[in-house]
Amino acid sequence: MAQIEQSSGGKKKKGAQKKMSIHVDFTPMVDMNMLLITFFMLCTTMIKSQTLSIALPTNEKLDQTELQKAKESEAITLILDTDYDDNGNVKGNTVYYYTGKPVLETQGEQVVSSNLEATEFIGNDGVTQQGIRKILHDRNRGVLADVEKKKQEWRDKKITEQQFQEAAKKIRNSDEYDRPVVIIKPLPNASWESVISALDEMQINQISRYQLGNLTEVDEAMVGDYKAKHPKN
């Protein structure tokens, strides 16, 4: 559709060069480009997925005794539960937790008391932590404070990022601090999202010792009791 227009002026001078204006119509080219752009926009991902690494404990018996060795004062057990609406969509995630050993006092069939408490996954309110993050934050305060100090040094450009990462790793794994051991036990109907949120909290709170564990009968009894005593409206 290229057009070559001849200027058709009235007065033609003899010997003067013919003036030619060349218009190439780019419309089809633009059309095609737009189609290609649309294709690329629909068929591609701009954001690459991230990954989160997990290490599961081995199935061997040896680890069971190792686990019990973990000081009771350091242990926090998180039990994850999820509510679904009628369509099977996630309504909300609940985190039950107890520190140390599970305490369950029973009188016959009746549960008298347990040390189980419930909270939820909830982000920061400004600078203050909320929900389970606050509990974990308080337990790992020593590590977090020192990592924050190093981070400040890094921000002030006193140390490089690599140095900061190394220092942070050292602090996370140091025995000088009173560090918690977190055992995450998802209930069978806990959503995958809640499991990831729990693992995420470990990263946020710089907790280096955590694992996914299996539910025990005591745990289930405690959750059942908690639900019975705190019915959801």
Residues that bind other proteins (CB under 8 A): 3, 23-27, 29-30, 33-34, 36-37, 40-41, 43-59, 80, 82, 88-90, 123, 186-197, 199-200, 203-204, 212
222 with 102: CB under 8 angstroms? yes
Angle, vertex CA 75, rays to CA 69 and CA 81, nearest 5: 125
User: Which tokens sit at 87?
Assistant: 């369509």
The least CB distance from residue 15 to other proteins, in Å, is 28
Select 63 or 178, whichever has its Cβ closest to other proteins.
63
Q: What is the DSSP letter of 127?
A: T
The least CB distance from residue 179 to other proteins, in Å, is 20
Select 66 or 193, whichever has its Cβ closest to other proteins.
193
The least CB distance from residue 41 to other proteins, in Å, is 6
Is residue 89 helix, strand or coil? coil
Is residue 198 helix, strand or coil? helix
Distance CA 98, CA 115 (A): 6
Amino acid identity at 110:
Q
What is the maximum span of the chain, computed from C-alpha positions, in angstroms? 121
The least CB distance from residue 96 to other proteins, in Å, is 14
Select 95 or 111, whichever has its Cβ closest to other proteins.
95
H or E element: which one contains 224?
helix 217-229
The least CB distance from residue 4 to other proteins, in Å, is 13
37 with 19: CB under 8 angstroms? no
Select 124 or 174, whichever has its Cβ closest to other proteins.
124
The least CB distance from residue 71 to other proteins, in Å, is 23
Select 77 or 82, whichever has its Cβ closest to other proteins.
82
User: Which tokens sit at 146?
Assistant: 């020192």
Select 56 or 127, whichever has its Cβ closest to other proteins.
56
Beta-carbon count within 10 A of 29 CB:
10
